[in-house]
Structure formats: C-alpha cells, structure tokens
Amino acid sequence: MKNFCSAFLVASLALTACNNTQQNNSQQESKTDSTKSETMGALDVKKFQQIIDGKPTNLYVLKNKDLQVAITDYGARVVSILVPDKNGKQTDVSVGFDNVDDYTKGGDTYFGAVVGRYGNRIAKGKFKLEGQEYSLATNNAPNHLHGGNKGFSRVVWDAQQPDDSTLILTYISDDGEEGYPGELDAQVTYTLTSNNELKIDYEATTDKATVVNLTNHTYFNLNGEGNGSINNHLMMINADKFTPVDSTLIPTGKLESVASTPFDFRKPTAIGARINDTNSMQLKYGKGYDHNFILNKSASGLTKAAEVVGDQSGIVMDVYTTEPGIQFYGGNFMNGTHKLKSGKTDDHRTAFCLETQHYPDSPNHPNFPSTRLEPGKVYKTTTIYAFSVKK
C-alpha cells in the first residue's frame, strides 16, 4: 500500500491524503470528519489525472519551507495554497475542488483559473480592431465574460515543472478561437519564492493584432477555505479611483473618485463595513463589490495594489502587480451549490478575488489603457501574492 501511494502521490500535501487513507480504516472512519481541518488541502493526485479533450491532466505542487501551492494544468488553476496562520496551523486560503471532474462541472465560478484571452467583460461581445468588427460569445448575457464559453480556464495547458518552486504552463490559442483574431501563444509561470510569494508571470505573443487581458481568478478566504464570511477581513486597495459600471457590469467609461464612497479602501477597512450601503447604486449593480479599481502608480513596474488580513487567522496577503487595475470581486455570486475540498460549501461571500488586470471592456474605451497586442510585441505582466502573518 505504501509503495502504491508513493507512486501516485507527489508532495506532502498529497502524502497526507495517502497516510490518512492508510490510517482511516473502518474503525477510524468517523475520525475523518473531525480531523478534516488538519488534512485540509490534502489532495489525491490521482483525482486530477484524467483525459480532457484528448489531453492528460495532472496536479503539481510547489513548495518551500513554509508554503505549499497545488496547481492543475486544467485551466492553469490554483487548487490550494497552504499557509501557516498566527498559531502555525497550516491553513488552505484558496477555494477549490479536490478533483478535476468538479472543475469541469464548476459552472461559471472560475475557481483558481487563469482567465483569458480577455479577463472580465467585453460589452455585448463586440469590439473593433483595424476597422474589422469581432463577435465573441455573450456567455454572461448580454456581455462576453472571461474569454468565452471555454476561454483559457476550461482547456488543458501544457505543463513543465523544472524544480520544486516553478511551474511553467503554456497554451496555444488558435486564430479565431472564441472569436478572437490571431494565434496567441500564452505562457503562465507560477513561482513560489523563498519570501513566501506566489509570483505569476504572464507572457503572450500573437501573429495578428488582437486583444489580451490575462489574470488569475483565485478565490481567497484568509481564515481558511469555507471558514465563514470574508466581511471581517481587513482590506486595503491602493486606488484613488475606480471604474463605475452600468447595470450589466460594463464600465460607463468614467473614472470616479473613491472618496466618500464605499469604494474607499485606501485605509484598511473591513470588507463588509459598508456593503449594505443602500445609497450606492454601484453596490446595487454589483450585488456587492465587483468593480475595477484604478491603481495608484507613480512608476511602471511592480507596485503594491492591495493588502488583506484574515481577522481570525492573522494571515496577511499583499498583492503587487505591473497591471493598471484590479478587480475586487466579493463572492456575490457564490451560492453554496458547490462542495469544496474542505468538505464545506461555497456559501455567499465566503471568498474574494483580487484579479489584477487592464480595465474591463477596454477594447471599447479608447480612454482606458490599451489591451491591444501587435505581432512582434511581447505581452508581459507580473503579479505577486505575498503571504505573511500578523501576530
């Protein structure tokens, strides 16, 4: 049994699962549930090994002395991020499933995924480039969302793991795929640094002018996956302005000041402190927070975008990015219909996303930073999620 397990399970994350299987014979069965939190994140690699669209899928683990991150090549998704909390207890701060099958059925949650070719919405699925109009799927009626019906989150990426701390994922999106022009060669590199940062480097090239906006859609609960509301997490977003939206979540094109609105997170504020502000049409349209913040940038390169603290765990997540914006999505569409790897459900607002990005619907807003990529140019962005603890 031991050899069987070793052959199939790659990392101590997974070995936990394996050891548990060995220990939890029938007499210990009831113990499994009560010890779930200790084994949270315990993943069986076999449950990620499938053939999808003719390509094998797998699970990869990045680790350093404190952190472990599990990623699947299906949608280049972050499955689990184990971080020690203020008491040293390993806590899985990202939301996901314990098998690849559930990701294929996961509907429009985008748990942990790299979304593209265009992250977030394009109004009515239409945009013009070089005088030609392109039509994309309106998979979030009446708009296009996160690259379309499959996008980059429901395809199998090619994976290469050169060492314990790096995973390189590549995907070639054909000319015309999901209605976008140009063959796009995309590469996403996940690196777990010795400073407890999960660094994501995105790169892409095209053979025709196209639009690109890649981001990561990990849902975080810094108190642990499924461990209640995120409303008491303290959040800082380094943004003086945001892009207000219409009732279909498409930016109006205005850049609005956050001052004296529930969107002012310049000082650390509980996520839920103003969420029921009935005077805010923007909160009404978003059903809560689901907005792009314009990051304060004095120079190009990596700048601090956000800082979030788990009120119970003391786990701190700092976000740095080269991108001009960040979508703060507060889990408003989570509705408890999915069973997560912790055994809990994805209840309303029990996780948040901080999707670093160019602004939504940029192809239709000439006043927004451009998302156009030309042949011969390299699309290159970097985002870092850095973890630490506040005692």
Of the two residues 60 and 265, which places its CB atom closer to ligand GAL in the complex?
265
The residues, any chain, with a CB within 8 Å of residue 153's CB and separated by 6 or more, are 75, 76, 77, 110, 113, 114, 115, 116, 146, 147, 217
Of the two residues 203 and 333, which places its CB atom closer to ligand GAL in the complex?
333
- For ligand GAL, the binding residues in 69-108 under the rule CB under 6 A are 108
- The set of catalytic residues is 217, 355
What is the nearest approach in angstroms of ligand GAL to the Cβ of residue 114? Answer: 12
Site string for ligand GAL, 282-301 (x = CB under 6 A): --------x-----------
100 closest CA partner among 54, 49, 151? 49
What is the nearest approach in angstroms of ligand GAL to the Cβ of residue 327? Answer: 5
Place of tokens 């160019």: 358
Q: Are strands 114-115 and 215-216 parallel, antiparallel or unpaired?
A: antiparallel
Total of residues contacting ligand GAL (CB under 6 A): 12
Site for ligand GAL contains 361 (CB under 6 A): no
Rounded CA separation 108/113 (Å) = 11
What is the nearest approach in angstroms of ligand GAL to the Cβ of residue 5? Answer: 36
What is the nearest approach in angstroms of ligand GAL to the Cβ of residue 239? Answer: 16
> Which residues are registered as beta bridge partners of 199?
191, 384
Quote the strand ranges of 130-218, DSSP E: 132-135, 144-145, 158-163, 166-173, 184-192, 197-206, 210-211, 215-216
> Which residues are registered as beta bridge partners of 302?
none
225 closest CA partner among 378, 331, 71, 299? 331
Of the two residues 84 and 147, which places its CB atom closer to ligand GAL in the complex?
147
Of the two residues 99 and 120, which places its CB atom closer to ligand GAL in the complex?
120
CA angle 53, 57, 58 (to 5 degrees): 175
Site string for ligand GAL, 29-48 (x = CB under 6 A): --------------------
Rounded CA separation 12/316 (Å) = 24
What is the nearest approach in angstroms of ligand GAL to the Cβ of residue 219? Answer: 9
What is the nearest approach in angstroms of ligand GAL to the Cβ of residue 229? Answer: 17
Site for ligand GAL contains 359 (CB under 6 A): no
> Which residues are registered as beta bridge partners of 381?
202
Rounded CA separation 322/301 (Å) = 5
Site for ligand GAL contains 109 (CB under 6 A): yes
Site for ligand GAL contains 333 (CB under 6 A): yes
> Which residues are registered as beta bridge partners of 292?
243, 327
Site for ligand GAL contains 213 (CB under 6 A): no
107 Ramachandran zone, left/alpha/beta (phi>0; psi -120 to 50): left
Site for ligand GAL contains 110 (CB under 6 A): yes
What is the nearest approach in angstroms of ligand GAL to the Cβ of residue 250? Answer: 11
Site for ligand GAL contains 329 (CB under 6 A): yes
- For ligand GAL, the binding residues in 230-249 under the rule CB under 6 A are 249
What torsion, rounded to 10 degrees, do the Cα atoms 342, 343, 346, 350 define? Answer: -50
Among 145, 192, 237, 239, binds ligand GAL (CB under 6 A): 145
- For ligand GAL, the binding residues in 13-32 under the rule CB under 6 A are none
By CB under 6 A, name the binding residues for ligand GAL: 108-110, 120, 145, 249, 290, 327, 329, 333, 353, 355
